[in-house]
């Protein structure tokens, strides 16, 4: 019986470990470079986007999911030193950027050099989807990396991971506890203790 209880406990721990998603718990800053959704690698060139809304959260950094509407500061780190010598600009359009001719331009930062390696911009974002397009002097080398921003929208995948998965884990734990308490071994042990 002890072997069964130990096996059930290990099964629960392995299930919880498999369902655990550190991105739900850990802030953006804890991701590694390869897993970072804000990092774009085009050939050997690397850029990184960060979005800030200091009017709501002073130090919180966002990338693809912006929690609230309003003024948003967009910061593109030109990680590759060669990009700092080129003319680099940024355009923010409402929509998914599939039809630039018809998309509404929300912010347009004209290409210029950035010796400090930082391209800064600000945009007032309402609820919806936006595309941040980074353009460089040498379009053929950059191939215009893009970022899709979801502003003030519910991410159902994260919602399920942060609520349903833990609830299932609790229910599984309760079921295992029930099975354990109903077992003959526990009833015999309880009988021995009471006598």
Mind listing the pLDDT tens digit for each residue in 56-65? 998 899 988 8
Tell whether the model's pLDDT for residue 21 goes beyond 90.
no
pTM for this structure?
0.62
Provide the residue ranges of all domains of the chain, joining segments of one domain with +: 2-20+157-190, 31-153
- Chain-centroid distance, C-alpha 110: 28
pLDDT of residue 72: 95
Contact, 86 vs 117, CB < 8 A? Answer: no
C-alpha 139/C-alpha 7 separation (Å) is 58
The closest of 177, 140, 151 to 67, measured between CA atoms, is: 151
Q: Tell me how far apart the alpha carbons of residues 188 and 192 are, in angstroms, rounded to a whole number.
A: 6
pLDDT at 36 > cutoff 60: yes
CATH superfamily of 31-153: Macroglobulin (MG2) domain (2.60.40.1930)
Say if residues 127 and 165 touch (Cβ distance below 8 Å): no
User: What pLDDT is stored for residue 15 in this prediction?
Assistant: 53
The DSSP symbol for 63 reads S
- 77 close to 50: Cβ distance less than 8 angstroms: yes
Over residues 71-78, the mean pLDDT reads 94
Rg (CA), the chain: 25
Residue scoring higher pLDDT (22 or 44) = 44
Average pLDDT over the chain reads 78
């Amino acid at each position: 019986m002890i072997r069964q209880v130990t096996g059930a406990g290990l099964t629960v721990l392995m299930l919880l470990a498999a369902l655990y998603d550190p991105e739900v718990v850990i802030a953006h800053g804890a991701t590694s470079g390869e897993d970072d959704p804000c990092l774009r690698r085009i050939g050997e060139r690397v850029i990184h986007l960060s979005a800030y809304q200091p009017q709501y959260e002073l130090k919180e950094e966002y990338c693809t999911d912006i929690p609230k509407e309003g003024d948003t500061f967009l910061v593109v780190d030109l990680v590759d030193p060669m990009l700092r010598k080129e003319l680099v600009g940024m355009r923010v359009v409402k929509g998914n950027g599939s039809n630039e001719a018809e998309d509404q331009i929300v912010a347009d930062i004209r290409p210029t050099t950035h010796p400090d390696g930082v391209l800064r911009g600000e945009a007032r974002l309402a609820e919806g989807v936006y595309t941040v397009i980074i353009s460089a002097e040498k379009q053929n080398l950059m191939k215009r990396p893009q970022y899709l921003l979801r502003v003030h929208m519910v991410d159902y995948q994260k919602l399920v991971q942060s609520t349903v998965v833990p609830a299932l884990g609790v229910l599984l734990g309760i079921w295992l506890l029930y099975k354990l308490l109903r077992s003959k071994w526990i009833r015999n042990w309880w009988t021995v203790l009471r006598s």
